């Protein structure tokens, strides 16, 4: 059976947060050489691509999402040679490499911005969004920064405000400037020439705004059921992001990426539009599918963990993704609380099953395969600017960005620096919950992930088969079929605290829980992959 599909549809993506994966030079912060040294782990685990969060020169005001040079490596992470070695070794092992691309904003230390703010007549003034104050001296409109406060900062020297959708250290680039656009498209070419296999596009839907800078209207239903109410949520963000002009821009980006050479590349768009799946899906490019290969789908992060909640979400995604386009699912990343903490231990194992069996490319976040929990970062070690700025303990994103735990050696094998010198603390149970220990335990979270990844590799139905929800005998059991030609598997999960009777005669190929399995009963919070009768295991 053939699957004429590109690698990014059949494969699994693994997100590496470079600061926290492996420190090779003993400064307590991970680096590119460290990632290179751990490539064999990714092969062993069974993923197909790694996505590297930013490693570019940066003052690290937002941990690399404030880029001061789009075409280099911050000395903290190594240099371009280290990057080239990483790509070469990844490719030698059949792993693809995706890099982060941050087009909405640069760092305020980027030479482009330094030049832009020099004077109103600067040749790069129009590379950023500058506006005169309102008549009373206040900002030009009511837009807010996603990180709190106004989205405008006054530059005293030139008397104008500049726009920043995030920190004031992250001025927004002006994509309506043809010269800026060309310079940024060149940065894509730069990394493609170095062999990268794709780009994760940071806040892709923010890049273009209303050219008239109209005020956002108030949001009649703040919080939208997915985030706590904040001044930011109190506005409807109709003018400061998701502008229709972004679609033409992404057609250009796509043409640059697809047209570069014969390598098959992917673009992943970080697009949070949880209440507007149609607008989210529009970034695939409508019928022509000529924009972003995969707008990232964050719906599972906030899904209600009931049969109805899961079924509804998957149905909505299946319906929203245009014909011929490919879905994807995300369950964790560096902006979220850790999966194991969000969902709790019972659901976390089912989450692994769900993520790796739905129809669509999964993105795994480093450490979730060990069940690393959120780490309570002491106040004097809080690093995330969002957390520092809020002053509210636990509000920042540090808790989900802590170092990977490899083994029981000093600092869990992450660094030769003792734990106190690490940029963030290790999780509390690293002595027990680490790659070395869990790989020896067939019932560990790591062994579950590895078994699921292995099965996904083995079964065409799981990789690319059609999804069909099944109605089961219990309202606590979420079941669906994946089928490709004659290859068929059924996935069932009990979302309740009681055992559930299932009408299965087939032996399970995999259970998420250790211990004896019963053919006609799912244990509380047990998930299974079944081999419907009449089929053998081999693909």
Q: Which of 113, 166 has the CB closer to ligand NOJ? A: 166
For 73-82, letters b (16+ CB in 10 Å) and e give bbebbbeeeb
Footprint on residues 164-193 left by ligand NOJ (CB under 6 A): 166
Footprint on residues 81-110 left by ligand NOJ (CB under 6 A): 102
Rounded Cα distance, 117 and 124, in Å:
8
* Cβ(137)–Cβ(160) below 8 Å: no
Least Cβ distance, residue 65 to ligand NOJ (angstroms): 3
Q: Which of 102, 144 has the CB closer to ligand NOJ? A: 102
Catalytic residues: 202, 270
Least Cβ distance, residue 67 to ligand NOJ (angstroms): 9
Q: Which of 14, 65 has the CB closer to ligand NOJ? A: 65
- Using CB under 6 A as the binding rule, whether residue 61 contacts ligand NOJ is answered as no
Cα–Cα distances (Å) from 139 to 135, 163, 166, 171, 176, in that order, read 9, 9, 15, 15, 21
Classified as helix, coil or strand, 504 is coil
- Using CB under 6 A as the binding rule, whether residue 526 contacts ligand NOJ is answered as no
Q: How many residues does the chain have?
A: 539
Least Cβ distance, residue 204 to ligand NOJ (angstroms): 10
- Give me the helices (H) in 12-154, please: 32-37, 39-45, 80-92, 111-116
For 314-352, letters b (16+ CB in 10 Å) and e give beebbebbeeebbbbbbbbbbbbbbbbbbbeebbbbbbb
Question: What does the block give as tokens for 108?
Answer: 């305020």
Residue 439 neighbours by CB under 8 Å, 6+ apart: 446, 447, 450
- Using CB under 6 A as the binding rule, whether residue 62 contacts ligand NOJ is answered as yes
- Using CB under 6 A as the binding rule, whether residue 65 contacts ligand NOJ is answered as yes
Footprint on residues 398-457 left by ligand NOJ (CB under 6 A): none
Which of 318, 335, 417, 458 is in the footprint of ligand NOJ by CB under 6 A? 335
Least Cβ distance, residue 306 to ligand NOJ (angstroms): 28
Q: Which of 301, 502 has the CB closer to ligand NOJ? A: 301
Q: Which of 23, 62 has the CB closer to ligand NOJ? A: 62
Rounded Cα distance, 346 and 175, in Å:
46
Classified as helix, coil or strand, 247 is helix
Q: Which of 270, 481 has the CB closer to ligand NOJ? A: 270
Which of 163, 203, 282, 310 is in the footprint of ligand NOJ by CB under 6 A? 203
Least Cβ distance, residue 166 to ligand NOJ (angstroms): 4
- Using CB under 6 A as the binding rule, whether residue 202 contacts ligand NOJ is answered as yes
Cβ-closest position to ligand NOJ: 65
- Using CB under 6 A as the binding rule, whether residue 56 contacts ligand NOJ is answered as no
Rounded Cα distance, 229 and 215, in Å:
19
Sheet of 487-494, strands arranged across:
466-470, 477-484, 487-494, 527-530, 508-511
Q: Which of 64, 285 has the CB closer to ligand NOJ? A: 64
Q: Which of 66, 291 has the CB closer to ligand NOJ? A: 66
Centre a 10 Å sphere on the Cβ of residue 135 and count the other Cβ atoms it contains: 6
* Cβ(201)–Cβ(279) below 8 Å: no
Footprint on residues 250-309 left by ligand NOJ (CB under 6 A): 270
∠ CA 142-146-148, rounded to 5°: 75
Torsion of CA 426, 427, 431, 434, to 10 degrees: -90
DSSP state of 420: G
Q: Applying CB under 6 A, which residues contact ligand NOJ?
A: 62, 65, 102, 166, 202-203, 270, 334-335
């Amino acid at each position: 059976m053939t699957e004429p599909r590109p690698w990014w549809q059949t494969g699994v993506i693994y997100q590496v947060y470079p600061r926290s994966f492996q420190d090779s030079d003993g400064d307590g912060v991970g680096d590119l050489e460290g990632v290179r040294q751990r490539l064999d782990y990714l092969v062993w685990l069974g993923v197909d691509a790694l996505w590297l969060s930013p490693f570019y020169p940066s003052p690290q005001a937002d941990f690399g999402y404030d880029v001061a040079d789009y075409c280099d490596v911050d000395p903290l992470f190594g240099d371009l040679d280290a990057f080239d070695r990483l790509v070469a070794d990844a490719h030698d092992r059949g792993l693809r490499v995706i890099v982060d691309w941050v087009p909405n904003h640069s760092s305020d230390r980027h030479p482009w911005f330094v030049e832009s703010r020099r004077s109103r007549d600067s040749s790069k003034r129009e590379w950023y969004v500058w506006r005169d104050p309102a008549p009373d001296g206040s900002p030009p409109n009511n837009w807010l920064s996603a990180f709190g406060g106004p989205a405008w900062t006054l530059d005293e020297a030139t008397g104008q405000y500049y726009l920043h959708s995030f920190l004031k250290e992250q001025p927004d680039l002006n994509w309506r400037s043809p010269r800026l656009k060309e310079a940024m498209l060149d940065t894509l070419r730069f990394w493609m020439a170095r062999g990268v296999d794709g780009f994760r596009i940071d806040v892709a839907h923010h890049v273009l705004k209303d050219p008239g800078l109209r005020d956002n209207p108030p949001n009649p239903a703040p919080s939208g059921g997915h985030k706590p109410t904040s001044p930011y949520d109190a506005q409807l963000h109709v003018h400061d992001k998701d502008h229709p002009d972004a679609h033409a821009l992404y057609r250009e980006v796509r043409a640059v990426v697809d047209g570069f050479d014969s390598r098959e590349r992917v673009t992943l768009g970080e697009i949070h539009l949880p209440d507007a799946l149609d607008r989210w899906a529009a970034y695939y490019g409508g019928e022509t599918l000529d924009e972003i290969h995969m707008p990232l789908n964050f719906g599972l992060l906030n899904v209600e963990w009931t049969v109805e909640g899961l079924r509804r979400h998957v149905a909505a995604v299946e319906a929203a993704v245009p014909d011929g386009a490919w879905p994807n699912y995300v369950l964790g990343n560096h902006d979220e609380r850790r999966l194991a903490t969000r969902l709790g231990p019972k659901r976390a194992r089912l989450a692994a099953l769900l993520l790796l069996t739905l129809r669509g490319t999964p993105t795994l976040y480093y450490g979730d395969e060990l069940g690393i929990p959120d780490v309570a970062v002491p106040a004097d070690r809080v690093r995330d600017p969002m957390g520092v700025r809020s002053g509210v303990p636990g509000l920042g994103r540090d808790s989900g960005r802590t170092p990977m735990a490899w083994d029981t050696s000093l600092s869990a094998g992450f660094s030769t620096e003792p734990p106190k010198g690490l940029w963030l603390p290790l999780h509390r149970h690293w002595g027990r919950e680490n790659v070395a220990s869990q790989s020896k335990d067939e019932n560990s979270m790591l062994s579950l992930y590895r078994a699921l990844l292995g099965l996904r590799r083995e079964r065409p139905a799981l990789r690319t088969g059609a999804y069909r929800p099944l109605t089961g005998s219990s309202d606590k059991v979420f079941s669906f079929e994946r089928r490709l030609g004659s290859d068929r598997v059924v996935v069932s999960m009990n979302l309740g605290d009681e055992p559930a009777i299932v009408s299965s005669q087939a032996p399970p190929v995999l259970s998420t829980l250790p211990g004896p399995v019963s053919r006609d009963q799912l244990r509380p919070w047990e998930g299974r992959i079944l081999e419907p009768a009449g089929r053998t295991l081999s693909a």
